[in-house]
Chain A
Amino acid sequence: MEVAIIDYGAGNIQSLQFALNRLGVQGILTADVNVLQSADKVIFPGVGEASSAMQKLNASGLQHLLPTLTQPVLGICLGMQLMCNSTEEGMTQGLGIFNVDVKRFSSKVKVPQMGWNTIYNAKGPLFDAIDDKEYMYLVHSFFAPSCSNTIAETNYDGAYSTALQKDNFFGVQFHPEKSSKAGSQLLQNFLSI
């Protein structure tokens, strides 16, 4: 199986690579349009600040390609947020795959949310064999509110989308590559879709 990881200079992909290796898969880090189009699975990672990450994506020209991909695509953390309509972080226009606008947590809670929190109302193949109320590792200051694309929720400053899906596009706010066994199961599930 060919798993392509989108290379746009944003995100620390080493841990993701190792997590895939543990599942017997070698991720290919690439910005090559042909490789991305022909891969069986595509992962869109992201760490850092939204507007500069989006600039890097635009500079690579991949912003037009990404929404046209037809195989299963998984956005992780900031990757998921950039797949939404927009984000308040740096007032950034997103890819518009998920029909939701990303907002900042209020000052009623500590920001960033950092640590292990439970997921619930999880549905679909991405969460096969993962318990409701399972813990996942999250580090983020911005969140996608619950919406029609929500396939799992987490509660912090209220319920929000901890996972989104639209057709072949999936997104998770947590870091599966850092979420121990449950995270590994989720990656395995994605590879099996």
Chain B
Amino acid sequence: MLTKRIIPCLDIKDGRTVKGVNFVNLRDAGDPVELAAQYAKENADELVFLDISATEQKRKTLADLVLKVAEAIDIPFTVGGGISSVEDVAILLRNGADKVSINSAAVKRPELINELATAFGSQCVVVAIDAKQIEGEWLVHLVGGKVPTEINLFDWTKEVEKRGAGEILFTSMDHDGTKAGFANKALARLSEEVNIPIIASGGAGELKHFTDTFTHGKADAALAASVFHFSEISVSDLKQQLKVQQIAVRL
């Protein structure tokens, strides 16, 4: 049976992990390669690296990092942050990334999704969508959720599927950082309206939230950052607990 995936997300700036990371077993908590290897050892199913640096050196730094991560781990990983062209993606995939995640660039120029799907296949094109409810309507936001658009979440998700996205990474800005659970109602609706896998993001705080998003939210995967980085929840404990709750996971 296809299992539900647990995906730790690492924010990267100038080649280092940012946001606090508080792992007892690591020599250097800022080293993304060491952190990635630690998560792989704990049975994480995939990893996401999100580059938030804005320097000119960014492309090269990220490409180098991807190469080092690919050398260190034997589970799949996705890279995102500022990707806006076929050339950007070619370098990352060539260096060993399995998938790339695009966000604002896809909203600004939706044809990018078609171009990437044609060039590399849908399986490596993740479209990340940040959205927030405004007067009852889920609206897509840009620039890490800061800039609102008038695009409806569900319309946009259907469009990106049609254009060749292989997967959706949906972050609810209403839930992100709250540690009060994922946006399960919206997630469940997304799963009904499109036929590609959905990764739930934003709101993970405790074990039950993961169970809920896989059952009520019908999510195919759940992504979280701080709960894993601060060892509030260990990936291996989480997966043991999910198994007890009858959720299919890889142990």
Tell me if B5 is interfacial: C-beta within 8 Å of chain A. Answer: yes
Chain B 86-118 interface mask (CB, 8 Å, partner A; 1/0)? 000000011111100000000000000000001
Out of A12, A18, A22, A113, name the residue touching B93 (CB < 8 Å).
A12
| Whole-angstrom distance between the Cβ of B248 and the nearest chain A Cβ | 9
Among residues 108 to 160 in chain B, which have CB atoms less than 8 Å away from a CB atom of chain A?
A: 118, 120-124
Asked if A48 contacts B121 (CB within 8 A), the reply is yes
Residues on the A chain within 8 Å of B85, using CB: none
Asked if A14 contacts B40 (CB within 8 A), the reply is no
Tell me if A112 is interfacial: C-beta within 8 Å of chain B. Answer: yes
Tell me if B29 is interfacial: C-beta within 8 Å of chain A. Answer: no
Question: Knowing A15-B70, A110-B220, A116-B5 touch, does A178 contact B94 (C-beta < 8 A)?
Answer: no
Most buried by A among B67, B97, B123: B123
Most buried by B among A18, A19, A118: A18
Residues on the A chain within 8 Å of B76, using CB: 137, 139, 175, 178
Question: Knowing A110-B220, A180-B74 touch, does A117 contact B94 (C-beta < 8 A)?
Answer: no
Residues on the A chain within 8 Å of B98, using CB: 12, 15, 139, 178
Please report whether the interface of chain B is mostly helix, strand, loop or mixed according to DSSP. Answer: loop
Asked if B221 contacts A115 (CB within 8 A), the reply is yes
Residues on the B chain within 8 Å of A70, using CB: none
| Whole-angstrom distance between the Cβ of A185 and the nearest chain B Cβ | 11
**Assembled-state Cα–Cα distance A155/B2 (Å):** 8
Which single residue of chain A is at the shortest CB-CB distance from B117? A49
Which single residue of chain A is at the shortest CB-CB distance from B166? A112
Residues on the A chain within 8 Å of B1, using CB: 117-118, 155
Among residues 34 to 91 in chain B, which have CB atoms less than 8 Å away from a CB atom of chain A?
A: 40, 45-46, 67, 70-71, 74-76
Residues on the A chain within 8 Å of B121, using CB: 47-49
Asked if B5 contacts A178 (CB within 8 A), the reply is no
What are 7 A-B interface contacts by the 8 Å CB criterion?
Answer: A110-B195, A112-B166, A112-B167, A115-B220, A135-B250, A156-B2, A180-B74
Q: With contacts A180-B75, A183-B74 known, what are 16 further pairs, Cβ within 8 A?
A: A12-B93, A12-B96, A14-B70, A15-B96, A19-B74, A47-B121, A48-B120, A49-B121, A110-B197, A112-B123, A114-B197, A115-B220, A116-B5, A116-B45, A137-B76, A178-B76
